[in-house]
Amino acid sequence: MGRPSDPMTRRWLFADQLGPHFLGPDESPGDDGVESVLLIESKAAFRRRRYHRAKTHLVLSALRHRANELGSRCIYLQGEGYRAALASAGEPLSVVDPTSFAARQLVREAGVSVLPARGFVTSQADFERWASGRRQLRQEDFYRDARRRTGILMAGDEPEGGRWNFDADNRLPPPRGAATLGLPDPVWPTEDDIDAQVRDDLDRWQSEGIEFAGVDGPRRFAATRAEALTALDDFVHHRLGAFGPYEDAALVGDWSMAHSLLSAPMNMGLLDPHEVIERVVEAWSSGAVPLASAEGFVRQVMGWRDFVWHLYWHFGPDYVANSNALDAHEPLPAWFRDLDAEALNARCLATALGEVRDRGWNHHILRLMVLGNWALQHGYDPREVTEWFTAHYVDAYPWVMAANVIGMALHADGGRMASKPYAAGGAYIKRMTDFCQGCAYRPDRRVGPQACPVTAGYWALIARHEESWARHPRMAQPVRGWARLSDREELLAQEAARGSEAP
Ligand SMILES: Cc1cc2nc3c(=O)[nH]c(=O)nc-3n(C[C@H](O)[C@H](O)[C@H](O)COP(=O)(O)OP(=O)(O)OC[C@H]3O[C@@H](n4cnc5c(N)ncnc54)[C@H](O)[C@@H]3O)c2cc1C
């Protein structure tokens, strides 16, 4: 086993460790100290589930671009699996601790020198110190602790602007009557010969029987460090200012809104979240963007992204398999599984599913309050839902999926991560989006031909858990609301008859 800083040790980089901060001997970004690199393209990884083709394209394109940049410093092995490739690599290797339980087991069994994980703002030790002795792990508390510890957006011991939270300025509905936020179109990468080669290979893999989902349209997400830095720059200059106010709003005609589109490059290791936060804080301190937007964004990256990363390890390898507190066992219906947006009359679901089909990406509100909310309302099996998100999103990895799907979207962990289910009816969708305009259903109707399936689904969910939520501090009120409805029986019969039909 080679020592981590041994210059003779070759650094094995996983496909989510592609930036310079995965090369140095310590946690400082920079590609000094490592002479040579091993990259492995494992075809077996793409046989495990039916991945979105755009996701597969992005990963292969990023790996091959990295190999191309590193030139003679890189051994690039293409094969069926990691173990066979490692056997042929045959020299002392070091690796930055990878991001899944399975990969961590693999590197340890392979006898590789393992360096501490990188790519996050806070360390596992920081998290465990914060979590130890706490009865409840809540993101807001973690985030404030991380702000204090790092000094980011702090004025001494106080948060900049005197407040931790700018929700009152943020989270506005979309501007009235607007079809888009009117921001410049994000800068998209230009595909090159490597992308063309990836497309040819994917066509060949498909003809050999590997199945993909979705459309592999022009590549939208950064596959190289240079593209990722351009995307960061573009976000900070053109969208960050509007990020805070509109982070929870959605429009049919504006799929990216003011979001950063940086989850994929950050999760592939092309951008270090430290540098992303630094750029955002700089934009605020130079007066280019309001504090509410900069804070809202830092909260997402240092607050939410780090929090779900730590929860993945803290909750352990069985968290996804063993969490089903709401006793949800419905299989995903074919229209949902196959991204069949055309089959739907409900405009919110058709928009969200169509975006997944076309790009392998939605912004947070469509993941949580449209698709996640629907899966929660209809009791879809949490493991199937986790698989579905993992397979279809360009930024999906096991560590980010577990707490977001099981804890946040489905409340399948019984409240270990979130204090209440993120359940909502059509009124929420109507307030925060333009999806209800021109929809076949009406968000204020619970029963009848125009009954909004999201509104009716919400009440059917409350009815299903009426007993256990009657004493829940944050769900008792909707349970009382349900008890007051006069059309309960009609609504339940209507929803039972709807079954798994496309809404
Ligand atoms: C059901 C569900 C599934 C999700 N799946 C993924 C996933 O596969 N990969 C992923 O990176 N995020 C996931 N998220 C979190 C979030 O929706 C995405 O990070 C975000 O939509 C990505 O778009 P963006 O880069 O434009 O983000 P922005 O809205 O611009 O936010 C900035 C950054 O904050 C981070 N962030 C914000 N919220 C979260 C969160 N809840 N968890 C982790 N990071 C967060 C991301 O790195 C993101 O790039 C999921 C959320 C839900 C509810």
Q: How far does the centroid of ligand 1 lie from the alpha carbon of residue 366, in Å?
A: 11
CATH number for the domain formed by residue range(s) 320-498 = 1.10.579.10
Q: How far does the centroid of ligand 1 lie from the alpha carbon of residue 165, in Å?
A: 19
The verdict on the CB of residue 304 being under 6 Å from ligand 1 is: yes
CATH number for the domain formed by residue range(s) 124-183+239-315 = 1.25.40.80
Distance CA(347)–CA(250), nearest Å, equals: 12
266 contacts 18 by C-beta, under 8 angstroms? no
- Mean pLDDT over the full length of the chain: 94
Residue 45 confidence (pLDDT): 85
Distance CA(369)–CA(396), nearest Å, equals: 18
Give percent of the chain above pLDDT 70. Answer: 96
**Per-residue pLDDT tens digits for 369-427:** 999 999 999 999 999 999 999 999 999 999 999 999 999 999 999 999 999 999 999 99
CB atoms within 10 A of CB 240: 24
Q: How far does the centroid of ligand 1 lie from the alpha carbon of residue 263, in Å?
A: 6
Q: How far does the centroid of ligand 1 lie from the alpha carbon of residue 88, in Å?
A: 37
Q: How far does the centroid of ligand 1 lie from the alpha carbon of residue 304, in Å?
A: 8
Q: How far does the centroid of ligand 1 lie from the alpha carbon of residue 364, in Å?
A: 6
For residue 371, give the ligand 1 atom closest to its CA. Answer: 1
Given a cut of 60, whether residue 73 has pLDDT beyond it is: yes
Instruction: Considering the chain, tell me which residue range(s) the CATH 3.40.50.620 domain(s) occupy.
Output: 10-115
Q: Which of 256, 300, 368 to mutate to test the pocket of ligand 1 (most atoms within 8 A of CB)?
A: 300
The verdict on the CB of residue 260 being under 6 Å from ligand 1 is: yes
The verdict on the CB of residue 308 being under 6 Å from ligand 1 is: yes
Residue 60 confidence (pLDDT): 97
For residue 393, give the ligand 1 atom closest to its CA. Answer: 8
* Band of pLDDT at residue 242, cut at 50, 70 and 90: very high
pTM metric for this prediction: 0.95
Instruction: Considering the chain, tell me which residue range(s) the CATH 1.25.40.80 domain(s) occupy.
Output: 124-183+239-315
Report the pLDDT averaged over residues 170-194.
95
Given a cut of 90, whether residue 33 has pLDDT beyond it is: no
Given a cut of 60, whether residue 29 has pLDDT beyond it is: no
**Per-residue pLDDT tens digits for 126-180:** 999 999 999 899 999 999 999 999 999 999 999 999 999 898 888 899 999 999 9
Q: How far does the centroid of ligand 1 lie from the alpha carbon of residue 310, in Å?
A: 15
**Per-residue pLDDT tens digits for 99-131:** 999 999 999 999 899 999 999 999 999 999 999
Residue 34 confidence (pLDDT): 64
**Position 94: which residue type?**
S
The verdict on the CB of residue 280 being under 6 Å from ligand 1 is: no
Q: Which of 59, 138, 263 to mutate to test the pocket of ligand 1 (most atoms within 8 A of CB)?
A: 263
Classify residue 389 by burial, with Cβ atoms within 10 Å: 0-12, 13-18, 19+: buried
Q: Which residue lies with its CA nearest to atom 50 of ligand 1?
A: 404
Q: Which of 259, 364, 411 to mutate to test the pocket of ligand 1 (most atoms within 8 A of CB)?
A: 364
* Band of pLDDT at residue 277, cut at 50, 70 and 90: very high
* Band of pLDDT at residue 4, cut at 50, 70 and 90: very low
Instruction: Considering the chain, tell me which residue range(s) the CATH 1.10.579.10 domain(s) occupy.
Output: 320-498
Q: Which residue lies with its CA nearest to atom 37 of ligand 1?
A: 300
116 contacts 97 by C-beta, under 8 angstroms? yes
In this structure, what token pair is assigned to residue 34?
Answer: 């490592």
Given a cut of 50, whether residue 293 has pLDDT beyond it is: yes
**Position 294: which residue type?**
A
Lowest mean pLDDT among 27-36, 75-84, 337-346, 420-429: 27-36
Distance CA(156)–CA(440), nearest Å, equals: 54
CATH number for the domain formed by residue range(s) 10-115 = 3.40.50.620
* Band of pLDDT at residue 5, cut at 50, 70 and 90: very low
Residue 27 confidence (pLDDT): 47
